[in-house]
Structure 1
Amino acid sequence: MSKIVRFHATGGPEVLTLDDVEVREPGPGEIRIRTRALGVNRADEVFRNNHLVELPSGIGWEASGEVDAIGPGVEGFTVGDAVSMIPTPINTPINYPIHGELAIAPATEVVKHPDTLSWEQAAALWGQYLTAYGALIETADLKAGDTVLIPAASSSVGLAAIQVARSVGARPVALTRSSAKRRRLLDEGAEAVVVTGEEDVVTRVNELTDGHGARVIFDPVGGPALADLIGAAAPGGTVIVYGALSSEATTLPVWGLIGKSLTIRGYKVFELTTDVERRKAAVDWVLDGLARETLRPVIDTVFPLEDIVGAHRRLESGSQVGKIVVTVPR
Structure 2
Amino acid sequence: MPRVVVFEEFGGPEVLHVVEEPVVEPAAGEVRVRMEAFAVNPLDLMMRSGTAPAPVPLPHACLGVEGTGVIDALGPDTTGFEIGDPVILAAVPDAGVRGSYAEYTTLPVGRVVARPAGLGVPEAAAVWVAYSTAYGALIEKARMRPGDHVLITAASGGVGRAAMQIANQIGAVPLALTRQAGKRDELLAAGAAAVIATEDEDIAESVARHTGGIGADIVLDLVRGPGQQDLLKAARPGGTLVVAGFLDPRPTPFPVGPPLTIFTYQSFEHTLDPVVVKRMAAFLAAGVRLGALRPAVYDKEFSLDEVVEAHRHLEKGLNSGRKIVVLAS
**Relative to structure 1, is the Cα distance of residues 152 and 106 closer, same or farther in structure 2, using a 3 angstrom cutoff?**
same
- Aligned AA (1:274): L
**Relative to structure 1, is the Cα distance of residues 303 and 177 closer, same or farther in structure 2, using a 3 angstrom cutoff?**
farther
Match status 1:87 vs 2:85: no
> SS of 1:58's equivalent?
coil
- Aligned AA (1:130): S
Q: Indicate if the aligned counterparts of 1:98 and 1:104 stay in contact, CA closer than 8 A.
A: no
> SS of 1:189's equivalent?
coil
- When normalised by structure 2's length, the TM-score is 0.93
CA distance in 2, matches of 1:327, 1:285: 26
Find the counterpart in structure 2 of residue 106 from structure 1.
Answer: 108
5+ long unaligned stretches in structure 2: none
Match of 1:62 among 61, 66, 74: 66
- Aligned AA (2:11): G
- Aligned AA (1:111): V
Deviates more, 1:265-274 or 1:92-101: 92-101
Deviates more, 1:68-77 or 1:173-182: 173-182
Find the counterpart in structure 2 of residue 21 from structure 1.
Answer: 21
Aligned-pair CA distance for 1:88: 5.0
- Aligned AA (1:73): D
CA distance in 1, matches of 2:72, 2:272: 25
CA distance in 1, matches of 2:162, 2:260: 24
- Aligned AA (1:219): D
CA distance in 2, matches of 1:275, 1:28: 20
Aligned-pair CA distance for 1:253: 4.2
Aligned pairs (5 A) from 1:128-207 = 128-207=130-209
CA distance in 1, matches of 2:328, 2:189: 30
CA distance in 2, matches of 1:205, 1:16: 43
Match status 1:295 vs 2:297: no
Find the counterpart in structure 2 of residue 247 from structure 1.
Answer: 249
> SS of 2:119's equivalent?
coil
Q: Indicate if the aligned counterparts of 2:101 and 2:328 stay in contact, CA closer than 8 A.
A: no
In the alignment of these two chains, the number of paired residues is 323
Match of 2:210 among 168, 188, 208: 208
5+ long unaligned stretches in structure 1: none
CA distance in 1, matches of 2:30, 2:182: 45
Superposition RMSD on alpha carbons, in Å? 1.6
Find the counterpart in structure 2 of residue 46 from structure 1.
Answer: 46
Deviates more, 1:145-154 or 1:316-325: 316-325
Match of 1:261 among 254, 259, 262: 259
- Aligned AA (1:62): E
Q: Indicate if the aligned counterparts of 1:88 and 1:274 stay in contact, CA closer than 8 A.
A: no
Find the counterpart in structure 2 of residue 123 from structure 1.
Answer: 125
Aligned-pair CA distance for 1:32: 1.2
- Aligned AA (1:315): L
CA distance in 1, matches of 2:310, 2:200: 30
Q: Indicate if the aligned counterparts of 1:67 and 1:78 stay in contact, CA closer than 8 A.
A: yes
Aligned pairs (5 A) from 1:32-43 = 32-43=32-43
Deviation track 1:246-293 (CA, whole Å, cap 9, x = no partner) reads 021212342x1xxx2111110111121222222212221221111122
